[in-house]
Structure formats: structure tokens, C-alpha cells
């Protein structure tokens, strides 16, 4: 399918080529062919976008002067504009990223729901009155932060952009969005929606560009007041250093090595379905992937059998293939890295149960077989490092205490799964897990209404839910002497 969507930068309400006219070629991971060419922002374009965003949130600007209910209307209009382009965005995401239309549909739906949810917040952002000594009125206001920068990865290009854009917009900020240069297309539909919803110029700016150039320039810009970064832990640390130098607020959503803990009293069929989704959805390219299966030793064989069978039956495909449930990984370099991890897994003593290579029926596209290793110990590389591909590592445990110990023995702490029919055990284990999110008897799951974020190396701050309102506003305390 040829692409007829937006391909230019969107700055200050205008579509424009890059200042130096450079472009990015984006590939379709299912065919390995160039899908389209997009303008590539450099430092001058970042400068241009940030200054437009700064003007858009000046105290006297149209955007800042809106009543909260009017801002809510804008966010609703914006969401409706996205909804009207839904089918086009789904196909674009599928071709640009490689994910199946089935998966892209979920992403687009989730993003639209997130805007609808935050439209509801726009006129409910309240301060507090605080009882203080003496004859005084003391209260707080929650105000917009100002210019927010959004640096987005390639694994959920549309959905993850929307996750931070929606609260930032609802809170009255202006936005500069830098999608990954690997998947630059669908973020541009946010610019189209801004045009259709008639948002004031400069409130939303979208600038595809490379991370080391446009991303670094945005993250270190002195006029950016908050950075929402989603990506790898390594790059996140650098972005945090830039933010520290500028005293800029930051939200970091980083990597993970999620444990799915299956106890001997679990519904094993349901667990097998959740384990499969948790590692093979999006070809395993998920921060919250359940890439470690911790299973009680008594049920290891039974669970492994179900999981391996499901893995082998996963229909592979992408693009217009509606029946596909797992697409290719995003690029040749990503596939190479995953295959290297598989070799390391074998060398370090893991037993390959299924998969482990490139599917023989796929002569084009960056496909990797759904892969399961057992006999893994938690000190092996494939149990410790984020592979970001369809590779599951199975580790056994003897009892509850050991399960918690293995689960927590990780630099990461994003999402953990607990599978049990014992309610007391479910709550106790959930409490002891050092994870920002725990899901009992389903995996993975999140909603626009619930906080999303990690402990330890998985990040800092929270997206989604009420928590994100706190991330994208700043508190002013006002004391009035009444005597």
C-alpha cells in the first residue's frame, strides 16, 4: 500500500520541510522496503518548535486564557478528529512499525480513549485550601508547567505519544513531540488532529528526527519545562542528566523484565493465555513484557507444554493480514540483537523448547520465531537483560518466598504478574513485589485511568490516571493575610 499521509514537520500550525531539507526513509519491516520519506528535524527545527510552543503558553496567549471547560472542549474535538482518522492511522502504524492490524487497532483505540479520559479532567484540576495559624487564607493552585517535550520510542509510536500528550494538553501546556526516527509517521496524525480541532498555533508541534540530534536538542533545551521520555534505560539516564542541568521536570518510562509468577493453585489454561500475550504481543517489543515466567516446580511441565504449543501456533504476518497475531520485529538490527541473545541463552545452559530462529516460511521481513527457553536460572543473561523480542525465559521456584526473591532480583521493576486462586496469597505477594504495577490473573493490562510506571531502573514518575495530572501541572501556594 502506498502512503498518502503527512510527511512534513508541523511547527507553529504550519507544515514545513526541515530547515536543512534532510529527510528520513522509513521501512516497512514486513517487506524490508522503503515505505515513505519524512522530513527530519535538526537543531534549528527544534529551536523553531520550542519557541512556537513557548509563545503558545505565554500568560496572555489564547491557550492560557481559555476557561477550563473550553480547554476540555478542545481536547474532545481533538479526540474526535483522531477518531475520524482511526482506520488510516491503524494501517499506517501497521506498515511503519510492523505490528499486526489487530495490535495497531488496540493501540489507536487506547490512545483515543486516553484523550477522552483527560478531556474529562481539564475542568477538574483543583487546588486545596490549607488550614494555617492566624487570620490567613492559604490555598494552592495547580498551574500548567509550560512547554512539554515528548520523546517517543518505536515500539508503540502512536499509543505512547498519546499517553503523555493527552494529560499535558488537558493541563494547559504546549507540546513538542519527537517520535522515533524508526517509526516517525503516526505521530504526525496528532498534528493533523490539531489542525482539524483548530487548536491555537504552537500548542502542538510534531518534529520527527533522530534521537542523538533532535532528541538530545529537545531534552537539553532551556525553554522546555518538562520532558516525558519513553525509551531505554541507558538513553533515559542521559536525558535525566540534561534535565538535571536545566532543573527541568521529567517523567521516565524505561525498560522492564517482567516476571509472570504462576503458583501451583493457578488456573493454568488462563495463565498460559496471559503468558503468551505477555511475551508474544507486539513481537515481545514491550517495556512491560512478561519475559520471565516463574513457575512452581510441580506444574512446570504442564505449563511449559501449554505455553510452547501456543507459541508454535501463533499466526505470523503483518500489514493487511487481519488474521496475524504476531508481526516482524521493527528492524534488521533489532532482529540481530534478539538472535544474539538466543545464542547467549543456549551457550549459558538454557534449553530451547521452541523457536530460536527465523521462521523458514518467511523469506522477507524481520520475523523471529516465538521462542521459549527453560532450565533458565535468574543469573543468566536472558533472565536479567531486556531482550525486547519474542523470547521467554522459564525459571522454576519451590515456594512463595523463593518466587518473590527471584522476581525482585532484577534491576527492573515495571509490571509483574501473579497467577493464583488464593486471594490472601495474591494480595500478599503483590505487596512484596518491588514493581510499579502488579496484575493478578491477567497479563498485561493497563487503562488510561490507572497509573503506569516503574520502580528501580524502570523509570521515574507516572503516566496515566490522576498521577499524570500531578506530573503535568505545578503547584503554587498562595497565602493571604486577612488581618
Q: Which residues of this protein are in contact with ligand NDP, per CB under 6 A?
A: 151-156, 160, 178, 180-182, 210-212, 215-216, 219, 230-232, 235, 238-239, 253-256, 287, 386, 388, 414, 459
Pull the grid cell for residue 282: 507486539
| Residue placing its CB nearer to ligand NDP in the complex, 232 or 354 | 232
CB 376 within 8 A of CB 275: no
Sign of dihedral through CA atoms 429, 435, 436, 441? negative
* CA dist., res. 267 & res. 270, Å (int): 6
Decide whether 102 or 156 has the Cβ nearer to ligand NDP. 156
* Distance separating the N- and C-terminal Cα atoms of the chain: 72
Residue 463 neighbours by CB distance under 10 Å = 24
CA dihedral 55, 222, 211, 150 (to 10 degrees): -50
Cβ nearer to ligand NDP, comparing 172 with 284: 284
Strands of 128-274, DSSP E = 136-144, 147-151, 174-178, 204-206, 226-230, 249-253, 259-262
Which three cell numbers, joined as nine digits, stand for 378?
Answer: 535468574
**In whole angstroms, what is the distance from residue 421 CA to residue 267 CA?**
7
Annotation marks residue 171 as catalytic? no
- Rounded least distance, CB 216 to ligand NDP, Å: 4
Instruction: Confirm whether 62 is a catalytic residue.
Output: no
Q: Which of 93, 171, 287, 463 is catalytic?
A: 287
Q: How far is the CB of 250 from ligand NDP (least distance, A)?
A: 12
**Least Å distance between CB 456 and ligand NDP?**
12
Q: What is the nearest approach in angstroms of ligand NDP to the Cβ of residue 239?
A: 5
Overall size of the chain counted in residues: 483
The grid cell for 399 is 515456594
DSSP type of residue 265: T
Q: 310-314, long-range: CB within 8 Å, 24+ apart, which pairs?
A: 310/272, 310/273, 310/276, 311/276, 311/280, 311/354, 311/355, 311/370, 311/371, 311/372, 311/392, 312/354, 312/355, 312/370, 314/276, 314/280, 314/370
Q: Contact at 8 Å (CB) between 397 and 408? A: no
- Closer CB to ligand NDP, residue 369 or residue 386? 386
Q: Is the dihedral of CA 144, 148, 150, 151 positive or negative?
A: negative
Q: Considering the candidates 77, 93, 103, 253, report the single residue annotated as catalytic.
A: 253
Would you say 125 or 152 has its CB closer to ligand NDP?
A: 152
Q: Which is nearer to ligand NDP, 125 or 252 (CB)?
A: 252
CB 435 within 8 A of CB 256: no
Looking at the Cβ atoms of 144 and 258, the one nearer to ligand NDP is 258
Q: What letter would DSSP give residue 257?
A: -
Closest distance of CB 289 from ligand NDP, Å: 8
Tell the smallest beta-carbon distance from residue 35 to ligand NDP (Å): 16
Residue closer to ligand NDP, measured from CB, 154 or 190? 154
What is the closest distance, in whole angstroms, from the C-beta atom of residue 476 to ligand NDP in the complex?
Answer: 29
HSE on the CB side for 332, CA within 13 Å?
6
Residue nearest to ligand NDP (CB): 211
Residues 6+ apart with CB under 8 A from 421: 265, 266, 267
Residues 75, 452: Cα–Cα separation, whole Å: 21
* Calpha distance 299→260 (Å, rounded): 14
Nearest distance in Å: CB 211, ligand NDP? 2
Beta-strand pair 473-481/455-456:
unpaired
Catalytic positions, written as ranges:
253, 287
Amino acid at each position: 500500500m502506498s502512503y498518502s499521509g503527512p510527511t512534513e514537520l508541523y511547527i507553529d500550525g504550519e507544515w514545513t520541510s526541515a530547515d536543512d531539507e534532510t529527510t528520513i526513509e522509513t521501512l516497512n519491516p514486513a517487506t524490508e522496503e522503503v515505505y515513505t520519506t519524512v522530513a527530519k528535524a535538526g537543531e534549528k527545527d527544534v529551536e523553531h518548535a520550542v519557541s512556537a510552543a513557548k509563545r503558545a503558553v505565554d500568560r496572555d496567549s489564547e491557550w492560557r486564557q481559555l476557561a477550563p471547560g473550553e480547554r476540555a472542549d478542545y481536547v474532545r474535538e481533538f479526540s474526535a478528529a483522531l477518531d475520524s482518522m482511526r482506520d488510516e492511522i491503524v494501517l499506517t502504524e501497521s506498515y511503519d512499525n510492523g505490528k499486526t492490524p489487530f495490535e495497531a487497532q488496540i493501540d489507536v483505540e487506547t490512545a483515543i480513549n486516553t484523550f477522552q479520559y483527560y478531556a474529562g479532567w481539564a475542568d477538574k484540576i483543583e487546588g486545596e485550601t490549607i488550614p494555617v495559624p492566624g487570620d490567613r487564607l492559604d490555598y494552592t493552585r495547580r498551574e500548567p508547567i509550560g512547554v512539554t517535550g515528548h520523546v517517543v520510542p518505536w515500539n508503540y509510536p502512536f499509543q505512547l505519544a498519546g499517553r503523555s500528550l493527552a494529560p499535558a494538553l488537558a493541563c494547559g501546556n504546549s507540546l513538542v513531540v519527537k517520535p522515533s526516527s524508526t517509526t516517525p509517521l503516526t505521530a504526525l496524525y496528532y498534528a493533523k488532529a490539531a489542525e482539524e480541532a483548530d487548536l491555537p498555533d504552537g500548542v502542538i508541534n510534531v518534529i520527527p528526527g533522530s534521537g542523538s540530534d533532535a532528541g538530545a536538542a529537545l531534552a537539553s533545551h532551556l525553554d522546555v519545562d518538562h520532558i516525558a521520555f519513553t525509551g531505554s534505560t541507558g538513553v533515559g539516564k542521559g536525558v535525566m542528566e540534561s534535565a538535571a542541568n536545566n532543573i527541568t521536570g521529567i517523567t521516565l518510562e524505561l525498560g522492564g523484565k517482567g516476571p509472570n509468577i504462576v503458583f501451583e493453585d493457578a488456573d493454568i489454561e488462563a495463565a498460559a493465555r496471559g503468558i503468551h500475550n505477555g511475551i508474544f504481543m507486539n513481537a515481545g517489543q514491550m517495556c512491560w513484557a512478561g519475559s520471565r515466567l516463574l513457575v512452581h516446580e510441580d506444574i512446570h511441565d504442564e505449563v511449559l507444554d501449554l505455553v510452547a504449543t501456543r507459541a508454535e501456533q501463533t499466526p505470523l504476518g503483518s500489514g493487511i493480514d487481519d488474521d496475524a497475531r504476531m508481526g516482524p520485529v521493527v528492524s534488521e538490527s533489532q532482529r540481530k540483537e534478539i538472535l544474539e541473545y538466543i545464542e547467549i541463552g543456549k551457550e549459558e545452559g538454557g534449553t530451547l523448547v521452541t523457536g530460536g530462529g527465523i521462521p523458514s516460511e518467511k523469506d522477507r521481513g524481520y520475523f523471529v520465531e516465538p521462542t521459549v527457553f527453560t532450565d533458565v536460572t535468574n543469573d543468566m543473561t536472558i533472565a536479567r537483560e531486556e531482550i525486547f523480542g519474542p523470547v521467554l525465559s522459564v525459571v522454576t521456584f519451590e515456594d512463595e518466598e523463593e518466587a518473590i526473591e527471584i522476581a525482585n532480583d532484577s534491576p527492573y521493576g515495571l509490571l509483574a504478574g501473579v497467577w493464583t486462586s488464593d486471594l490472601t496469597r495474591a494480595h500478599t505477594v503483590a505487596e512484596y513485589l518491588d514493581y510499579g504495577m502488579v496484575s493478578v490473573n491477567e497479563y498485561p493490562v493497563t487503562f488510561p485511568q490507572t497509573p503506569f510506571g516503574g520502580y528501580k531502573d524502570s523509570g521515574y514518575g507516572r503516566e496515566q490516571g490522576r498521577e499524570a495530572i500531578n506530573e503535568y501541572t505545578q503547584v503554587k501556594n498562595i497565602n493571604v493575610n486577612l488581618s
